[in-house]
Structure 1
Amino acid sequence: MMQALEQTLQDETLCRASGVRQLILTFYHPENRHPESAPLLGWLAAQPHFPKFYWQPRDGTETVAVCGQVAQFSDAQQAGQFLHHHAGHAGRLRVWGLNAFEAAPQPACLFVPRLTLHQQANTLTLTLNLADPHALQGDLVRAAAFLQQLQPATLLPPQPLSLTHASHQPDEAGWHALLQHALAGIAAGEMEKVVLARKTVLTFSQPVDAWRMLAASRQVNHHCYHFLMAFSPTAAFLSASPERLFLRQGDQLTTEALAGTVASSEDDHQAAVLAGWLMKSEKNQRENWLVVDDICRQLQGAAHGLDVMPPEIVRLRKVQHLRRTIHGQIRAADDALCLARLQPTAAVAGLPRLPARRFILSHEPFPRGWYAGSAGYLSREQSEFAVSLRSAWLEEHQVHLYAGAGIVAGSDPAQEWQEIENKAAGLRTLLEDPAE
């Protein structure tokens, strides 16, 4: 990459150019070499440049590590305009980052990275992005300094941790009171469903390494999106989310309703029994159909030919979910519009959306921030976002874990408390001492 950059520095025409350009190098591995032999997570953890973003979709078809930035945006519309403006010279450009659940104080943190490592099958692609509104020569010098500071990959062994304090917001008594309030609003016809969340604050005797936590999650939390956004050496947001917000390929859109939950089990027979119960549960099927109906309503006028697939069971390590996949053709490849119409879905907010969100903002004892928002990337040809569920905010010695449950008529506070316990366990168990 440094050699290619040095050659570029000698190209006077490019040095005088402005806007965005990309230097791309591609490497091919032998057919018998496993893609994971490229330790992108350990490589990204070692880099001194921020922000840093790691991405692995739940199908495991690609792994992406990006760091540094040449442009930043506070919403998807700005990002989309940037991609459109620079499509002629940087058609493979992707914008990465997070969208928040609340519009304030920061609706999104989206950025064009300085450097991208993209692993797919037997191919590793390195992309260096250059950007300057006046002349690229200055940014070429900055890019050279950036590359000189890159570090080799580090190992990410399990981190021994000592928990000193744990608390829930709300606590169990507060959760019961919150749900009774929500059920009263549902009974009064103010809303059909509201998704309520709990934050668990864990304090440890030493700083918690977000990269090691995500490495541990990847080993056990299968069929999930794994992503991590590091804002600084001590502040990061990560997730092992089972839910896709949307995948857009050209004008083809795929989204889903992931709602309805039961516990999982390591025993296949017991897991199958629980899955059978979930399929027959009237309450959970109703909850899932509410999300399906909301998605179809939100896409009305923006997409046509929507097809809703039959329900299926998504089996995870600690819980199982009902999922219905939805396919359609959108009238315009507008990711900002897709985000505006789909986020937040009824699976993370409720129905109708406005009164449900008002209830959440008025009654939950903490701001959600990045939790229940979305994470992923935008590009001209294809965009994908996951819902930021099963999430954690890490800062110094503290880990904030988030989990939520959909509340509808007939919901039982004790059962819903157990559901969020099960959901939070997907990440919390990664922080426990196996010797205990």
Structure 2
Amino acid sequence: MQTIVKPAESLIDFSDQPDFVATLCKQVNLLPYISDRIYHASVSVDRQDLIAFLSNNTSYQQMFWQARDQDRSLAGLGVAAEIIADSSAEAIAEVRDFSSRIFSQSKKAYLPWFFGGFSFAAGDESDIWQGFPSSYFVLPQICLSETQGEYHLHIHLPCNGEAEWNTAKNDLIRMLLALDWGQSVPDILEEGQQYQACSSIDKAHWHDLCDQVKSDIDQKHIEKVVLARDVAISVDGSMNVHHLLNRWLALNPNTYSFMLQRGDKYLLGCSPERLYKREGQQLSTESLAGTVGRGDDLVSDGQLSQQLLNESRFKNEHGLVSQFLQQQLEGVCSSLDFEPTQVMKLEKVQHLYQKVTAELNCKINDAELINLLHPTPAVSGYPRNAALNFLSSNESLARGWYSGGIGIVSFSDEREFVDLAVVIRSALLENNRLHCFSGVGLVDGSDSESEWQELDSKINSLLDVVYGTAQH
């Protein structure tokens, strides 16, 4: 039996609301109760600044995602459904289950965007990462989206009980009416704030770790290990997470940009690296490894690019990732293509980059794909199991979600879409403390001092964002 509740629209004051808010509220008013469903409704809106939308509406849990090719973005508020799991396989299965329960009021076929991700290693929820489960995905209650230049405001409303249905709708309407549509983002730091930076590992210990890696490489126990570092920045006040994300994205536009709030902590970043993107059976992934800095002018920058392309240690490091992808994917694909190696240029560094495309076998699912591809040698090492064993025994850093995966997962009866980035060039913000993460890959011929400098170059990409308004 369906119960249709129709509150008198005259009791709701829409006079100071944008037309699209009034339209969406009226849709919510008329939603009938259907047991064990999640309602979706949406309206088209004018162009909006998604980060400003979050900055002006901070009363609810927040999330942000922008794809590297900038064709999909979302800014989410609140939680309509969330999945907390011990493994990515379990989380993906639950996303599928929730997706099958979503009832859309949209005229076009709707593909729900669950946003979330998973840690580098299952069970690593220690230290600073308390509150970030091994795997977590969320369907926002309110979502402002942009897809290829078109903007929409979405709502998701669970039908949790017929007796509470009218209250749930009224609460959502109040939430919509309270939205602030301002277009400004506050400053990242207050004027005059000072900062302190502290590395999780000192230089002497770093050289000792590198010596252990080089010894294992010399003895043929391993070919590559990726070591990571955390630099914690503390300020004598608070940082504004939205301005931090806004500035970071402005300096690194061709990256995956993301923010996920859990309690009073925010994971955010601008990652250049795709884990994989899948549309149906079409798969796109990549080999991204080997790093040099950027030159001060076109000539020096070009010379560094040639160094990256020609030096054996860089080609070796990159080749191990490509070799890994070949090994992992050839058994689950009907076709597999590796494009020529290029140089990816970012603000502070440049990398060797190779795009990989494939046609997947019909039986392969995303849980299996994640297990095949994560973690790649770009963030762990090669062979993978040997590198993970070394890191487990020797790396003191609690990586948590650093070098894990993050992105959007979408399933419907007609379509499937997954786009996941590797959580690098990322940071964890809690109050006035920002943990900045970076890693480097050591292979035969690597120099520990040069690798330390590479860590600095990667960290500096974020420090420049913060220090742009901080007092040095």
Q: CA deviation at 1:169?
A: 1.5
**Residue 64, structure 1, aligned to residue 68, structure 2:** no
How many angstroms apart in 2 are the aligned matches of 1:308 and 1:188? 31
Find the partner of 1:41 among 48, 51, 56: 51
Paired residues of 1:161 and 1:432 also in contact (CA < 8 A): no
**Residue 291, structure 1, aligned to residue 321, structure 2:** yes
Q: CA deviation at 1:18?
A: 3.2
Aligned position for 1:128: 155
How many angstroms apart in 2 are the aligned matches of 1:288 and 1:388? 18
**Residue 242, structure 1, aligned to residue 272, structure 2:** yes
Paired residues of 2:188 and 2:466 also in contact (CA < 8 A): no
How many angstroms apart in 1 are the aligned matches of 2:333 and 2:95? 19
Q: CA deviation at 1:245?
A: 0.8
**Residue 20, structure 1, aligned to residue 38, structure 2:** yes
CA RMSD of aligned residues (A): 2.1
Aligned position for 2:360: 330
**Residue 109, structure 1, aligned to residue 109, structure 2:** no
Aligned position for 1:188: 219
Go from structure 1 to structure 2 and tell me whether the alpha carbon gap of 1:118 and 1:8 turns closer, same or farther (over 3 Å shift). Answer: closer
Q: CA deviation at 1:402?
A: 0.5
Paired residues of 1:305 and 1:329 also in contact (CA < 8 A): yes
**Residue 99, structure 1, aligned to residue 118, structure 2:** yes
Alignment gaps of 5+ in structure 1: 30-34
Match of 2:144, SS state, is strand
Match of 1:379, SS state, is strand
TM-score after normalising by structure 2: 0.85
Paired residues of 1:275 and 1:313 also in contact (CA < 8 A): yes
Match of 2:322, SS state, is helix
How many angstroms apart in 1 are the aligned matches of 2:186 and 2:195? 23
- Write out aligned runs for 1:382-397 (5 A): 382-397=417-432
Match of 2:222, SS state, is coil
Q: CA deviation at 1:59?
A: 1.9
Go from structure 1 to structure 2 and tell me whether the alpha carbon gap of 1:108 and 1:194 turns closer, same or farther (over 3 Å shift). Answer: same
How many angstroms apart in 2 are the aligned matches of 1:51 and 1:336? 26
How many equivalent pairs are there? 425
Paired residues of 2:333 and 2:360 also in contact (CA < 8 A): yes
How many angstroms apart in 2 are the aligned matches of 1:83 and 1:253? 24
**C-alpha deviations, 1:1-60, integer Å up to 9, x for none?**
45434444335xx22443122101113x5xxxxx5xx21101112223443111112222
Q: Which amino acid in structure 2 is aligned with residue 255 of structure 1?
A: T
Aligned position for 1:422: 457
How many angstroms apart in 1 are the aligned matches of 2:92 and 2:51? 29
Q: Which amino acid in structure 2 is aligned with residue 19 of structure 1?
A: R
Go from structure 1 to structure 2 and tell me whether the alpha carbon gap of 1:344 and 1:49 turns closer, same or farther (over 3 Å shift). Answer: farther
Aligned position for 2:180: 151
Alignment gaps of 5+ in structure 2: 1-20, 126-132
Aligned position for 2:29: 9
How many angstroms apart in 2 are the aligned matches of 1:147 and 1:173? 54
How many angstroms apart in 2 are the aligned matches of 1:374 and 1:3? 37
How many angstroms apart in 1 are the aligned matches of 2:322 and 2:262? 34
Q: Which amino acid in structure 2 is aligned with residue 53 of structure 1?
A: M
Go from structure 1 to structure 2 and tell me whether the alpha carbon gap of 1:156 and 1:114 turns closer, same or farther (over 3 Å shift). Answer: same
Go from structure 1 to structure 2 and tell me whether the alpha carbon gap of 1:292 and 1:425 turns closer, same or farther (over 3 Å shift). Answer: same
**C-alpha deviations, 1:364-412, integer Å up to 9, x for none?**
2221011101111000221101111111111111111100000112211
Higher Cα Rg: structure 1 or 2? 2
Go from structure 1 to structure 2 and tell me whether the alpha carbon gap of 1:371 and 1:112 turns closer, same or farther (over 3 Å shift). Answer: same
**C-alpha deviations, 1:291-342, integer Å up to 9, x for none?**
0111222224322311001000001111100001100011246222222221
Find the partner of 1:348 among 371, 379, 382: 379
Structure 1 stretch displaced more, 91-100 or 400-409: 91-100
Go from structure 1 to structure 2 and tell me whether the alpha carbon gap of 1:82 and 1:141 turns closer, same or farther (over 3 Å shift). Answer: farther
Find the partner of 1:358 among 382, 389, 398: 389
How many angstroms apart in 2 are the aligned matches of 1:266 and 1:25? 47
Q: Which amino acid in structure 2 is aligned with residue 343 of structure 1?
A: H
Q: Which amino acid in structure 1 is aligned with residue 38 of structure 2?
A: V
Percent identity of equivalent pairs: 27
Find the partner of 1:54 among 31, 46, 64: 64
**C-alpha deviations, 1:135-166, integer Å up to 9, x for none?**
45554234224324423334233534634422
**C-alpha deviations, 1:233-252, integer Å up to 9, x for none?**
x4211111111111111110
**C-alpha deviations, 1:76-104, integer Å up to 9, x for none?**
32344325533675842111012111201
Match of 1:15, SS state, is coil
How many angstroms apart in 2 are the aligned matches of 1:88 and 1:44? 26
